[in-house]
Amino acid sequence: MADYDFHQLSPHDFENMARDLLQADWGIILESFKTGKDGGVDFRYAQTNLRIVVQCKHYVRTGLAGLLRDLVREAVKVYNLKPQRYVLVTSVPLSPANKDEIVKIIGATILNPGDILGQDDLNNRLTQHPAIEGQHYKLWLASRAVLDRVLNNSVITQSEFKVRSVYKDIPRYVQSNAFPRALEILNRDRIVIVAGPPGVGKTTLANLLLYEHLEKGYHAVVIQRDIQEGQTRFQEGESQIFYYDDFMGATFLGDRGAAFNHNEDRLLIDFIAMVRSSPNARLVLTTREHILSQALEKSERMRHSEIGDHRVILQMSDYTFGQRAEILYNHLYFSELPVGYQDELLRGEFYFQIIRHHKYNPRLIEWLSTYRRVKNVAVADYRDFVLSLLQDSAEIWRHAYENEISDAGRTFLLALFTLNGKTGLTILEKAFTALHTARAERYGFQRRPEDFRVAFRELAGAFIKHSSASSVEVLDPSVLDLLIAVVRNTTDNAIDLISGANSFDQIARVWSFANSAQGQSVMSALSTKAEQVAASIEPRLYDPRKVPMGNGNIAYVGMTFEKRLAVLIEIADHFQHPRFLQLIKKLFDRLKVEWRTEAVNISDGIEILRSFNRICWPTLDTIPDIFFGCRDAVIAEAEKGCPSDNLRELISVLPSDEIEEDL
């Protein structure tokens, strides 16, 4: 038998479930009425000579006492309606004595105990009508039993934080027609890409798809950094659902307007094929639609793949006016927003301005209904705050960034920006410490040993969130949009990010941004500091990749030395400063040392050759031994065996007169 306490449903959700359940149970169609002062009627059946009135009372918070108190006021309304049959539906658990007490309040001439449906009665009918239970997904998906079942699976405990986060958000979700579309694609193709504009609810939809599969026994693999994580953790025959939120990045791919680097498109397509070939695997991806469109335009591999056939585009037009109202209603009902703030939204039907606003989206509704984000706004100013949020959400972020957080908080966000907006806490703390030290010396503010911990607490829930127990990410992609504007408009920040970098990966990401359409001001600023940039880059070029993990195990972190050399050649070609020529020679010498014990990375070695093929600075042609040395090393490694894609890439970067001789 079903066993729900209905806490996960808002009053509106509860009424809809009760209506569908009674219609299925009685085999009739009930009239529904709009939310508001109902005069004692939520649903009505008025056919032939029978007049049935149904009223729903959702009293999860106040329980029996609140129900009885309210029914005393309702009794007069019900008496005046004079229905032939009056049915009371409530989420409150009721004993026979409780039902008798309710009959006394309403009157035995109007109500009999059999027409009082309490919590146990509803669960009994849900058991008899499983289709209704399945239709109201929030009812079972957000139930405590499902949560316990998911968390008690020992294989999934690594995703416990994600599970709890999704569980907490389910009650506020309003299903649009995009959910069944996405579920159909995922069931049919084993992969779905949820695409759409910022703030429309892509992550929430993806979360629901993930959670539903966890309930069915799938094991979650939440990808944090790149698609190779998924490939590494793929297990043939195991029921796995791979989840990669914002898989193309909110910043570095979409805004630079360039093709994929490092064969990311091939890796993605290969992984999709891997998932689709396994009947037990599923893959859920989210991205901004314009970024996916750019990727399809820039990558021939992507265009020729079927990746576009697996996407569902989520737009605000998928939400009806009523669903927009439900989103606002659910967020308020399940929020900690004090009554005074809620009254400001309701006074004079101000909420209609919100629902009808052309910039309305679920993310903005979450913002304006989250008390910790608005607690510094006086109740009297709350309406103006909401209107300004609707006009330009970036301004809200910017004001908080510039005026409400500490120097350590700003350093924390800038460090996270160089790590693509999400990373492990250990990596972030090292990046923070290096950048905070550099900025403190430059701007003369004081540092304290606890700055990282204090900054984390300061930003949690406002700018950042946990993506797992040991990882952190920006609260949503619009935070990265803010940081893009901060770095672009105040270019000294870019100098700081390079001089205070803790890894070459961070420098490469700043370079990628500077090289984008949005980063022209940053590139101009860096060009005036070529020598300083070179001096900052040098120590990071030689950072070791091997990390001892104990018991003789070794992990590899960061870019390969081959990839570092490819990026360094690009940077040198832009700045055309002799200092970079020296760095290229030193890094190549370090690379040759690496090759004594490590295999050549063919993909990244090809990137070196490709960088040389694109150079415009004639001076780089004076070091042909590096090109030929890399070419020979890559060819020798390829001769030992390599994927056909690698071979095609290698052929594409070699001069035609060398191909037959070398390969």
Encode pLDDT of 451-494 as tens digits. 999 999 888 877 888 877 788 988 777 788 889 989 999 999 99
- Confidence (pLDDT) at 149: 59
Tell me what the pLDDT averaged over the chain comes to.
85
CA dist 390 and 307 (Å) reads 34
Helix or strand holding residue 478 (H, E): helix 477-489
- Confidence (pLDDT) at 150: 60
CA dist 136 and 30 (Å) reads 18
CA dist 350 and 502 (Å) reads 49
CA 327 to chain centre: 18
SS3 641: coil
Residue 78 pLDDT level (bands cut at 50, 70, 90): confident
Which residues does 250 contact at the CB level (< 8 Å), separation at least 6? 288, 291, 421, 477, 480, 481
Residue 171 pLDDT level (bands cut at 50, 70, 90): confident
3-state SS string over 176-227?
CCHHHHHHHHHHHHCEEEEEECCCCCHHHHHHHHHHHHHHCCCEEEECCCCH
Amino acid identity for residue 404 in this structure: E
Residue 359 pLDDT level (bands cut at 50, 70, 90): confident
Domains of the chain (ranges; CATH) run: 11-137 (3.40.1350.10), 144-317 (3.40.50.300), 319-391 (no CATH)
Length of the chain: 663
Among 222-231, 564-573, 604-613, where is mean pLDDT lowest? 222-231
Please determine, for residue 252, whether its predicted confidence score (pLDDT) is greater than 50.
no
Counting Cβ atoms within 10 Å, is residue 206 exposed (0-12), middle (13-18) or buried (19+)?
buried
- Confidence (pLDDT) at 200: 87
- Confidence (pLDDT) at 259: 44
* Alpha-carbon torsion, ordered 243, 246, 249, 253, to 10 deg: 90
SS3 493: helix
pLDDT digits 0-9 by tens, 102-112: 999 999 989 99
Helices (H), 49-159: 63-81, 96-106, 119-128, 130-135, 137-141, 144-151
Which residues does 521 contact at the CB level (< 8 Å), separation at least 6? 488, 489, 491
The sheet with strand 464-468 has its strands ordered as 422-424, 471-474, 464-468
Residue 251 pLDDT level (bands cut at 50, 70, 90): very low
Which DSSP letter does residue 653 get?
H
Please determine, for residue 662, whether its predicted confidence score (pLDDT) is greater than 60.
no
Helix or strand holding residue 228 (H, E): helix 227-233
pLDDT digits 0-9 by tens, 376-406: 889 999 999 898 888 776 666 787 788 878 9
Among 299-308, 411-420, 559-568, 652-661, where is mean pLDDT lowest? 652-661
- Confidence (pLDDT) at 211: 82
Tell me if 285 sits within 8 A of 191, measured CB to CB: yes
- Confidence (pLDDT) at 555: 82
Tell me if 253 sits within 8 A of 295, measured CB to CB: yes
Higher pLDDT, 554 or 194: 194
pLDDT digits 0-9 by tens, 129-155: 988 887 887 777 766 666 665 655 434
CA dist 147 and 501 (Å) reads 41
Per cent of the chain over pLDDT 70 is 90
CA dist 387 and 377 (Å) reads 13
How far CA 71 is from CA of 67, 104, 298, 662, in Å, comes to: 6, 10, 65, 89
- Confidence (pLDDT) at 258: 41
- Confidence (pLDDT) at 395: 64
SS3 464: strand
- Confidence (pLDDT) at 656: 62
Beta strands in 276-328 (DSSP E): 281-288, 311-313
pTM here?
Answer: 0.64
Tell me if 398 sits within 8 A of 482, measured CB to CB: yes
Please determine, for residue 505, whether its predicted confidence score (pLDDT) is greater than 90.
yes
Residue 551 pLDDT level (bands cut at 50, 70, 90): confident
Please determine, for residue 250, whether its predicted confidence score (pLDDT) is greater than 80.
no
- Confidence (pLDDT) at 636: 93
Please determine, for residue 23, whether its predicted confidence score (pLDDT) is greater than 50.
yes
pLDDT digits 0-9 by tens, 301-338: 887 888 888 888 888 888 889 899 999 999 999 989 99
- Confidence (pLDDT) at 586: 96
- Confidence (pLDDT) at 518: 85
What is the C-alpha end-to-end distance of the chain, expressed in Å?
Answer: 69
Per cent of the chain over pLDDT 90 is 44
CA dist 354 and 345 (Å) reads 9
SS3 1: coil
